[in-house]
């Protein structure tokens, strides 16, 4: 018996070896860091040139934090479906899923191992960007609690999109179709929720109903990220509910959806035998 932790099962160990021991993993992280770093430095350089003193002010430092956080959320939404939407359907296409199902690993262990192993690479990539936020701390304007809340929000969004990708990868046989369906969900929560909020908020004769808009935007990851960075944003929308925050609705609703999708993935991973009459 070796000294490995008991919770590292063979499925998770195999996924970690395949994802972390290839040359593509460090190259992907390097490219991601270069992209984020160039965007942050370019934004800071443009703002410093516009200042007469040539120094990044506190207000511009906050704007850099907002811009950097929003860009990273978009990259997470773009990369996470590609990492998770093919983990089960890929096994099915390689004709190794049946072999995997004959092992002693339960369906829940297989689904969760695939999910955590896929998201571990994305989590490592996001954590690697934390030194870039030191640029913001040099000039102030942002508290460590805001940065921590943003990174916790990133983890939750990754779990949500990862569970969606696992679900479509389980019920759909083709990886291409599951990837398209997962990106469709990403487009829905980022685009449709905002458009629906603007549409239903404008119904009526009194102009925009900000509370209706706030409820729809509470399902939009980008809007919730803005409310975490600018708490007054949610207060302006929910004027009648002083203690209600957009992330309360977001986490509560999508935690239920996340749990449901994982349960359905576990339920439909193995073929269901039809009962005889």
pLDDT digits (tens, 9 = 90+) for 186-217: 999 999 988 888 887 777 556 667 778 888 88
CA angle 154, 160, 164 (to 5 degrees): 140
Q: What is the pLDDT of residue 2?
A: 43
pLDDT digits (tens, 9 = 90+) for 8-34: 666 667 766 776 677 777 888 888 888
* Cα–Cα distance for residue pair 55/256, rounded to 1 Å: 46
Average pLDDT over the chain reads: 81
The radius of gyration computed from the CA coordinates of the chain, to the nearest angstrom, equals 22
HEC-encoded secondary structure of 53-79: CCCCCHHHHHHHHHHHHHHHHHHHHHH
Q: Which residues of the chain have pLDDT under 50?
A: 1-6, 273-275, 277
Q: What is the pLDDT of residue 58?
A: 63
């Amino acid at each position: 018996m070796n000294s490995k932790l008991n919770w590292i099962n063979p499925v998770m160990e195999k996924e970690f070896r395949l994802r972390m021991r290839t040359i593509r993993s460090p190259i992907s992280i390097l490219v991601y860091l270069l992209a984020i770093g160039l965007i942050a430095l370019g934004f800071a350089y443009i703002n410093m040139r516009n200042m007469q003193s040539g120094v990044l002010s506190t207000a511009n430092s906050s704007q850099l934090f907002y811009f950097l956080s929003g860009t990273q959320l978009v990259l997470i939404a773009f990369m996470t479906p590609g990492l998770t939407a093919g983990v089960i359907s890929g096994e099915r296409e390689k004709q190794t899923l049946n072999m995997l199902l004959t092992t002693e690993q339960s369906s829940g262990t297989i689904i969760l191992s695939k999910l955590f192993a896929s998201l571990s690479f994305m989590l490592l990539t996001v954590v690697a960007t934390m030194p870039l936020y030191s640029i913001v701390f040099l000039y102030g304007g942002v508290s460590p609690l805001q940065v921590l809340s943003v990174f916790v929000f990133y983890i939750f969004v990754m779990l949500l999109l990862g569970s969606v990708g696992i679900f479509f990868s389980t019920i759909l046989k083709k990886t291409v179709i599951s990837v398209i369906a997962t990106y469709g969900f990403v487009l829905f929560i980022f685009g449709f929720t905002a458009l629906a909020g603007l549409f239903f908020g404008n119904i009526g004769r009194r102009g925009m109903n900000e509370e209706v808009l706030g409820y729809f935007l509470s399902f939009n990851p980008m809007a919730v990220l803005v409310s975490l960075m600018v708490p007054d944003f949610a207060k302006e929308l929910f004027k009648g509910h002083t203690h209600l925050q957009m992330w309360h609705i977001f986490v509560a609703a999508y935690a239920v959806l996340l749990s449901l999708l994982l349960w359905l993935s576990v339920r439909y991973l193995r073929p269901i035998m039809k009962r005889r009459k």
